[in-house]
């Protein structure tokens, strides 16, 4: 059975374009799950509900990849989860993203995305190590900030480094680290930058 997932950000008008595309594909309206939430928002209630509902043999359909995933890492994690369930995936506007297609071309594209996601993970790890080394040289205490788990400590350090570089926009940083804008500013405050925040690019 095919299920559609549609999403628009909070500042977008409506879901009609995506819903119409699903209906043209023959997907029943009752099998369409929707969220109205920013792409950087971690919690997507309808997507979580759909992921729990999908069973072996089902197909998850999206209008476009960016409606589903926050980043390449997020996409590959979702595809791996679907694969473990025996669920296929396809994008209506991006036919090269179709795990229902057994062609080598489709397999290559999905594999390439997985490799790029791993590269992104490796870069984040290297930047974290460099940030830790830099912090040590400046004599900073590297213990986990109060209120932040050890797991998220590295992301807090990366937020500080990206902030100081001043190159990436807030939206780009949030997407890269898979965090919300509120979490980004929370991490900066925990890194002692509360009184040093300056205007950012959107």
> Of all helices (H) and strands (E), which one includes residue 32?
strand 32-36
Residue 60 tokens read as: 């998850």
| DSSP at 98 | B
* Complete edge-to-edge strand list for the sheet that includes strand 32-36: 32-36, 2-8, 59-62, 88-91
Sign of the Cα pseudo-torsion (165, 192, 201, 156, in order): positive
Given a contact cutoff of 8 angstroms between Cβ atoms, the answer to whether 50 and 5 are in contact is: yes
Both tokens of residue 181?
């804008």
Q: Would residue 48 show up in a list of annotated catalytic residues for this protein?
A: no
Both tokens of 136, joined, read 């040590």
Query: Token pair for residue 146?
Result: 């109060």
Long-range contacts of 110-113 (CB under 8 A, 24+ apart): 110/79, 113/72, 113/75, 113/76, 113/79
Radius of gyration from C-alpha coordinates of the chain: 19
On whether the CB atoms of residues 94 and 88 are closer than 8 A, the answer is no
The active-site residue, picked from 9, 28, 103, 111, is: 9
Q: Give catalytic residue positions.
A: 9
């Amino acid at each position: 059975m095919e299920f559609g997932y549609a999403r628009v950000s909070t500042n977008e008008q409506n879901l009609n374009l995506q819903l119409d595309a699903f209906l043209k594909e023959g997907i029943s309206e009752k099998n369409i799950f929707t969220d109205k939430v920013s792409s950087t928002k971690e919690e997507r209630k309808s997507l979580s509900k759909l992921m729990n509902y999908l069973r072996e043999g089902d197909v998850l359909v999206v209008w476009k990849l960016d409606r589903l995933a926050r980043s390449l890492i997020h996409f590959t994690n979702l595809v791996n989860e679907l694969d473990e369930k025996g669920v296929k995936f396809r994008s209506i506007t991006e036919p090269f993203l179709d795990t229902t297609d057994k062609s080598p071309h489709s397999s290559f594209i999905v594999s390439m995305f997985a490799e790029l996601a791993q590269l992104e993970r490796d870069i984040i790890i290297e930047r974290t190590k460099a940030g830790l080394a830099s912090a040590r040289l400046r004599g900073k205490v590297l213990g986990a900030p109060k209120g932040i788990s050890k797991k998220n400590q590295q992301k807090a350090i990366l937020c500080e480094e990206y902030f100081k570089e001043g190159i990436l926009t807030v939206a780009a940083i949030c997407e890269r680290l898979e965090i919300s804008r509120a979490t980004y500013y929370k991490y900066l405050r925990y890194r002692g930058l509360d009184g040093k925040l300056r205007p950012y690019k959107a």
